[in-house]
Every structure is written in C-alpha cells, then in structure tokens.
Amino acid sequence: MLNKVLIANRGEIAIRIMRACKELGINTVAVFSDADKNALFVRYADEKYNIGPGPASQSYLKKENIIDVALKSNTEGIHPGYGFMAENADFAELCHKNGIEFIGPPVSAMKLMGSKIDSKKSMIEAGVHVVPGVTEAISDHEKAKNIAHDVGYPVMLKASAGGGGIGIQKVDNEKQMEKALVSVRQLAKNSFGDDAVFIEKFIDDPRHIEYQIIGDKKGNIIHCYERECSIQRRNQKLIEETPSCALTPELREEIGEQAVLVAKTARYYNAGTCEFMFKDGKYYFLEMNTRLQVEHPITEAITGVDLAREQLRVASGFELEYGQEDIQPRGHAIECRINAEDPLNNFMPAPSKIVRYAEPSGPGIRIDSGVYQGFTIPPFYDSMIAKLIIWAEDRPRAIERTKRALWEFQIGGVRHNIPFHQVVMNNQQFISGDYTTSFIPKYKILDQVIEHIKETKAQSSTPRTAAAMAAVQAVIVAVAANSSQQNK
C-alpha cells in the first residue's frame, strides 16, 4: 500500500480522497493557494504546502510546483481529484518521470481519450456504438459543409480536445457553418491549445447517461452501472440520479458491456466514466472521462463500492476487491450540486463569506463539502459549496428525502442554488422520470426558480414563519450538540 499521497486538488474532493487515505492508513499531503490557506481540506491533511497565489494558473495548475512538493515531502503517489490536473497526460508523465505513482489511468489511455477524434476511431474499430459523424479534423469550411450535408443537418462541431461542455456548437444549416467553424476552432485553440475540430450528427433532445467503470493493472475491469445526468445548464450537470428511469434491465446490461469494452479497448485501469447519449431506445458512446466524477457518490450509495478506496488500492498494485457479479445495485440515489451562484442574476457565480451554515442530517443523507461557517469562498475556482447525496429504498422516497434535506440546508451570507433544486424536486415532469437534457428550458425552470425565491421571501418575512424556521433550526442544532456530547 502507498504510504503517503499528495492530493493535487482542493475543496470537497480533496477531503473525500483524504478520508479514503486515512481509512487505509495512508498519510496525506495538501497543496494550497493563498486563497485557500484557511480551507477545511488544508486543516484535514497531515502535511500542507503553499504553492502560490489564488488564481489556479499560478497555483493548482503549476505542474512543477506540485512535483517539487511531492519530492520534498517524499510522496509516493499523487491523486489529481477532478478538474485541474486530473486529465492532463503531461502531468501524469511528469509524475512517472519522477518516480511518483499517478493515481489514475495509464498515460496512453489518457492521450487516447483526450483526443475525441482518435478515441472515436478506436471505438468504431472495436465495435462500440458511436454517434454518426466523421473521424477527421476539419479546417476548411467548404469541406465541412459537404460533410455536414452527408451526415445531415443539424450537426455538432466539436473540439477534439474539448471537455466540460466547452468547444461544442450546434450548426443548423450550411449558412451557419463558416462562422461556426471559425468560432469553435478559435475557442478550442484558446482553451485547449489544439484547434482540431470534427463533425457529429446532432442528436436532438437526448438523455445523458454515463457508466462508472473501474479496472486494475491485471486487466480486470468492471462497471458499477449508470448515472442519469440529463439535468444540465450550459452543458454543466446540476442533478444526477441512479438508476436511470429510461433503461430496461436488458439495456442496462448491454450498455454496461459496451462501457467495459470501451475501457478494455483503451487498456484502461483505475476509475473512469463512459458517457452515452440515449434516445428512443438507442444509445451512442460520446467520450470517456479519465478520472473520478463529481457525481461518483451516488454510485457508491447504491453499490456499496468505495471508489476512492479502490483507486488507491489499484494504484498500490492490488487487484479489484469486486467482480462484476458482486455489483448488485440497491435502492435509488440523487445528488444535488449546491453552488454559490445567484439565481436572480442568470446563476452567475457569487462567491462571498458564509455567515451561517447548517447541513441536513438523518437516514440516507450524505454531505460532501469543503466549507464551514465563517469561510470565504474564493472567486478563483468552481463555485461549489457542497454535494447533497441522498439514498432511499426507491425513487419516490429518494425525492421526498431530498426535498426534506433541501429544506433543512441553511446557508447564509452567500447566494446559492438551493431554490433551483427545490423547484426541480417538485416538478411533475421530473417526478415522472420522463425528462431529457432540454428539461430546464423546456419547462421554464429558471423562471419558476425566480418566482419560488420571491414567494419564499414573502413567506419568511412574516413573524410566524420566521419564528417557526428559527425554532426548527434551534432543535436541529440542539440535537446535533447533544449527539456530539454523547459521542465524546
């Protein structure tokens, strides 16, 4: 087993990995920026090192600084979390060159999956179902028009090196093609240093379904079933659940087999996610994220597999603790991403100081967070405050439990998106389970959120309601304090 691991990340994911390390007896090293000097993950780590100013480009994205700390602290492994260095093959290579285990997939798999063009070619050869389109980079707009005509409008222009919803644009007709091609290539160059762009058929209004896979260095690969990720805004996931309401048992197994085929084709090990689009009973492989996902806790909730623990064991040379037959999902899980953003200002990030913070609790509730009351959320990074993870015996009870937990969750001093999640959980279309990636605009959810906020403010302005809420919070705090005393 590795003796010491550096976590090249911050916030809740850094704490998540450190907890897994602590259970395995692994010492932890935190790297932090000036903006994170008082962060919870820094306090949690066994060792901590400052690596630069607040902006990520001057700290968390400085590969050499992180390697220097790893060597100085005699670190044996580096876990990149997600974001930052998580899918950076150059960083993984730098780790290996310095005798440090990169806790992730092999560099060859990262490079293959980092190129959407190359990965698509490989998957077609292996027999994986992919989105119709071409597997060549396109720079000439006349050629692009001809290809789009053959594929059939509408099409998607996609940056080969893109990710996180960046570098994609829908093109409805050939009049839009020239301008769109210039725009996407420039964005790809600026964002990823690679202007390679290709064309795929636009699948209108699909569901977004992803499969969790994990493998070891001996070639054992399993999937841990699917996550439904169709509740998105600007191609960014906001709510995830598992299992998906769209899949039959037969389709669930079939797509799982395809996910394992993807991983085997890439000669993959460690944790990863295969993303699919699903519509009218048909599915198409999109891409593979070569890292742990933000929404991995809901998979843990229904399978009992500790994915971070398995990552650390695999990196240490151990085989998986599970075979495919051991993965038997149970119940239903939902994750809500609680972000510091302003619903009344187009959900723009709204970092500031948290003056009140009380998490929900009770059966089936898990909170992954890196904040505390009095902490100031820095403006330089993702605006996530916490992940609310709910498990229950079935989907209706999971939704009701999520509603209750959202009602209990108290965050003061910071604008946040809890009202958004409350609106979604009460939406009949969501409750029915019949929704797609167009859910938010189609059902005018953002307008409903604004109305919900106005109504809530009006209700809370009455002395009776305000007093009732204060009394409830006092009870919650008192119960928590009493429980804490009993546990000492």
Q: What domains can be seen in the chain, in order of their start residue?
A: 4-103 (3.40.50.20), 132-201 (3.30.1490.20), 207-456 (3.30.470.20)
Q: What is the pLDDT of residue 461?
A: 59
pTM: 0.90
Distance CA 78, CA 58 (A): 19
Banded pLDDT at 138 (limits 50, 70, 90): very high
User: In the annotation, is 330 catalytic?
Assistant: no
Chain segment 13-30, per-residue pLDDT in tens:
999 999 999 999 999 999
Given a cut of 70, whether residue 467 has pLDDT beyond it is no
Greater model confidence, 457 or 152: 152
Given a cut of 80, whether residue 437 has pLDDT beyond it is yes
Q: What is the pLDDT of residue 473?
A: 52
Chain segment 81-119, per-residue pLDDT in tens:
999 999 999 999 999 999 999 999 999 999 999 888 999
Among residues 227, 233, 291, 395, the one annotated as catalytic is 291
Q: What is the pLDDT of residue 482?
A: 44
Mean pLDDT of 351-358: 97
Given a cut of 60, whether residue 319 has pLDDT beyond it is yes
Banded pLDDT at 486 (limits 50, 70, 90): very low
Greater model confidence, 487 or 387: 387
Supply the mean pLDDT for the chain: 93
Chain segment 208-242, per-residue pLDDT in tens:
999 999 999 999 999 999 999 999 988 889 999 99
Chain segment 265-288, per-residue pLDDT in tens:
999 999 999 999 999 999 999 999
Given a cut of 70, whether residue 149 has pLDDT beyond it is yes
Given a cut of 90, whether residue 397 has pLDDT beyond it is yes
- Amino acid at the residue 478: A
Given a cut of 70, whether residue 480 has pLDDT beyond it is no
- Give Cα separations from 58 to 49, 95, 467 (angstroms): 14, 19, 47
Q: What is the pLDDT of residue 314?
A: 98
Banded pLDDT at 196 (limits 50, 70, 90): very high
